[in-house]
Amino acid sequence: MHHRPLTLQRLLPAAVGALFGLHPIAEADTFWHLTLGRAVLRYGSRVVPEPSAFKSWTEPCVVPEWLWDLFTYGLYRSSGMGALSLLPALFGALTGYLVGCTLDANAPQSSRVLRASLGVFAVCALAEILDVRPNLAFAVLLVAFPWLTQRYAKQTDARALAWSGVALVVTAQLWAQLHASFVLAVAIFVSVVVPARLRQDKRFLRERLRVDGALLVGLLLTVFTCAHGTQVVDLVLRHSGTDAARHIQDMKPFDWAMLAPFAWPVGAVLSVALLMAALPWLVAAELDMAAVLLALLGAALTFTAARFSVAWVLLLLPLSAAGIRVCSELGAQRPGRLRSVELVSVALTLCTSVWTYRRVDEQAGPMFQTGARMGAYPVAASRYLLRLPAGSPVFTDYAAGGPLGFWLDGRVRTFVDGRTPLYFDDTDAAVSRDVLASPSAMDLAFARYGVRAAVVERAGAQCQLLAERWSAVVIEPRYTTFVPKSGLAQLGAPLSGLAACGPFYLSADACQDGGAALLRSIDRLAGVQRTRFAGFLHAAALLQCQRGSGAAALATLPTERDARLYHSAYRWYASWALLLAGRTAEATDLLADALSHGDALAVRVLLEPAASRVPVAQLRRLLERGLELMDDNAPAALRARLALVCAAQGDAECARFQGLRAYLRGDAASIPALQWASAHHPSPRVRQDLLAWLALHAP
C-alpha cells in the first residue's frame, strides 16, 4: 500500500470527493458546533455553562466532540466562514484517497478500472455527509482505522508491531475527542485482529496475543477519555431507540426502501457494493473473515439507524474489493468480458456521479460557492433581535436555534435545537414538537418561558400559528421573525404587504394602496440587511402592484442561482417578467424546467394576460403538467384557463373535465368553455348533463 501513492484508483476518488465538497455551508448544526467550540475556548473545559438555551436549562453542557468544535471555531475565527466552508472538499479528498488505498490493499492485483470505479462509487455515498460537522472526521477515521488495524495484524516484526499498536491507540484517542462513534474502534479492532490471529502460525501466537490483549485494554481505556467519561454508555444509548432519535431525520430507524438503487445515490452505491461483496460467495472463492465481519458491523449499524448507511458503504470496501479481485481473476481468462465489465462500471460510475452532483447542488448548492448558503439562515433576524433586552427568550424551531445561538452569543436565549439528544432530552424534544403543532401548547409554552420573539421556518405549520397571533417584523427567504403585537411600540411597526408564511412573499392585500406600504416594508428589510432577496421583493412589487415593464423587473431580480431557496416564487416572477419583455421562449423554458423538478406553483403565471403570447399548444402542455402535479389541490382558476385552451383547440372532453371541476369550485371563468362543450361534445348525454349544470348558474 505504501508503493506508488499517486495512482488513478486513489487520485480519482480523491478528486471526486473534493468536487462534491465544494459547496457553501448548508447545515444548521455547523453553528451550534461553533457555539460549543467558542465555549470550550472561553472556559478551558469540555464541560461548559449552557451557552445559548433558555435559562431554565441550568445543567452544564458536556461537549463530546470538543476537539472538532474547537478546531472549526478556531478556523472560523482566524479565516472566516469562507475557509470553514472548504473543509468538506478537503476531507472529501482525504477520504476518497483513503478509499482508494483501502481497495489497493485488499485487491492489489485486480483491475485498476474496477478499483477506481468502486472508489468513486463509495465517494458518491460519502457526498451525503460532506458538510461542516464532525461527520467529516468520522468518515476519515472509519476508513483509516480498519486499514491501520489491518497493517497491525500483518506485522511480523516485534518493533513494527509495537509502533503499529501505538498508532492505533493514538488514533482511537483522537477519535474519542472528535466524534461520538469512537466506540467503533474496539469493534473494528476485534473484527480484524481475531481472524488474522486464527490464520497465523501458532508458534508466534502467544506473544502476539499478549500484545493484542494489552492493546485491546488500551483501546477500551481510550473510550473513557471522551468528554462524558464513565457516562459513555448513556451517550451511546441516547442515539438509538429513544423517542427523540425516532423523530430526527438522521437517526430514524432503517427502512428497506433505502436500498432501492434508484431512490437516492446511497441506495445505488450500496446495491453495487453488496453485489461485488456477494461475488466471492457465488464462485466459492476464499473469503477474508475480517472483511466479512466489517461488512456485518456496517449492516448492524445501518439497521440500528439509517444515518449509518454511508458507514456501511465504507465498511463494505474490503469485502467489495474481494469481489473485484474475483472478477479480475475470472476476466484474466477472458479479457474481452473483463473489458466489457470495466466499460459498464465506468458508465454506471459516471451516471451515479452526475446524479450525486446534481443532488448535492440541489440540497447544498450552488456548487463552487463558499461561505454560508445564501438565504439559508436567519441572518437579518439575528440583527433585528439585538433590539431586545439582554437574555430575552426567543422561540426558535429546530434549525433556527443553532445559527442564532452562535451569532448572538447569549445576547438572546434560544429554544430546543440540533443538540437533541446530546443536551436536550426526549421530553424537551417532544415538547418542542407539540409547541410547533398545537395552538394551546404554543400559548402555554410562551407563557411558561416568557418568550419575547419567535423565529421559525416559513414552510412549517408553526409559522401560520404565529401569524394568527403575533406580527411579522422580519421576512427572509426561509425564516420569519415574529413579535407580540403588544411589543410593537418598542420594536417597530409590523410589515405591510408581505406574506409571513408560505412559498410566496406578497400578501393578498399587498397592492391595495398601489404597493406604497409594501415598498416601505421592503426598504425597512433592506435596512436590516442588504441582500439580493430585497431585489427580488422589489421586482415582485413592480410586477404585481405597479404592472411595470418586464425589463425593469428583470434588472432587479437576482439570478436563479442566487434564488435557490425561493425557487417557486422566483420562477413565477421571472417568467412573468420574461413574458412582459417579449422573451416568451425563455419564459416557457423556465416554466418547463420548474415542472421537470416537480415545482408546479410557477404555472400560476399563465393566468396573467402576458401569457397570451405563449403558443396555444405549448400553453396546454404546461398547464396539463402543472395540474397533474397539483392533482386535486390545483386552483380552480388554472383549471378554467386550461378548459378555455382546450375549447380553443376543439377538445370537448378536456374542456368538460377541466371546466366542470373549476365551475364546481366557484370559478365562473370556465362557463364559456362549458357552453362550448355543451354544444360540441360528441355524447348527447354529456351535452345534456352540461346544460343541466349550466342552468344552475344564475345570470
User: Which residues, given as ranges, of the chain have pLDDT below 50?
Assistant: 1-2
pLDDT of residue 249: 75
3-class DSSP state of 28: coil
For residue 487, count CB atoms less than 10 angstroms from its CB and return exposed for 0-12, middle for 13-18, buried for 19 or more. Answer: middle
Question: Which pLDDT score is estimated for 1?
Answer: 41
According to DSSP, the residues that pair with 480 across neighbouring strands are: 456, 475
The pLDDT score that the predictor gives to residue 243 is 79
Q: Report CA-CA distances (Å) from 89 to 23, 30, 265, 367, 528.
A: 8, 15, 19, 11, 33
Residue 8, number of CB atoms within 10 A of its CB: 13
| CA–CA dist 335, 176 (Å, integer) | 47
How far is the C-alpha of 71 from the C-alpha of 137, rounded, in Å?
A: 11
Helix (H) or strand (E) holding 482: strand 479-483
Q: Where do we find the cell 403543532? A: 437
Taking each helix axis as running N to C, give the angle between helix 671-680 and helix 652-664, from 0 to 180 degrees, rounded to the nearest 10. Answer: 140
Judged by phi (left if over 0) then psi (alpha if -120 to 50, else beta), residue 91 lies in: alpha
pLDDT at position 178 is: 96
Contacts of 605 (CB under 8 A, 6+ apart): 572, 573, 575, 576, 579, 587, 591, 611
pLDDT digits (tens, 9 = 90+) for 300-310: 999 888 889 99
Predicted TM-score (pTM) of this structure: 0.92
What are 333's three cell numbers? 481468462
For 327-337, letters b (16+ CB in 10 Å) and e give bbeebeeeeee
Question: Using only C-alpha atoms, what is the Rg of the chain?
Answer: 30
Cell of 443: 400559548
What's the pLDDT at 87? 98
pLDDT at 488: 62
What pLDDT, on the 0 to 100 scale, is given for residue 239?
Answer: 65
Between CA 690 and CA 102 the distance in angstroms is 71
Q: Count other C-beta atoms under 10 Å from residue 444's C-beta.
A: 14
d(CA 346, CA 120): 10
Q: Which residues contact 29 (CB under 8 A, 6 or more apart)?
A: 131, 133, 402, 418
Looking at residue 4, its pLDDT comes to 63
Calculate ∠ Cα 579-583-585, nearest 5°.
100
Q: What are the DSSP calls for 537-562, one per residue?
A: HHHHHHHHTS---HHHHHHHSPPTTT
Interstrand relation of 471-475 and 479-483 (parallel, antiparallel or unpaired): antiparallel
Which grid coordinates are listed for 500? 409571513
Residue 240, pLDDT score: 67
Closest CA to 85 of 373, 357, 366, 370: 370
Q: Which residues of 371-405 are buried (b: 16+ CB within 10 A; e: fewer)?
A: ebbbbbbbbbbbebbeebeeebbbbbbbbbbbbbb
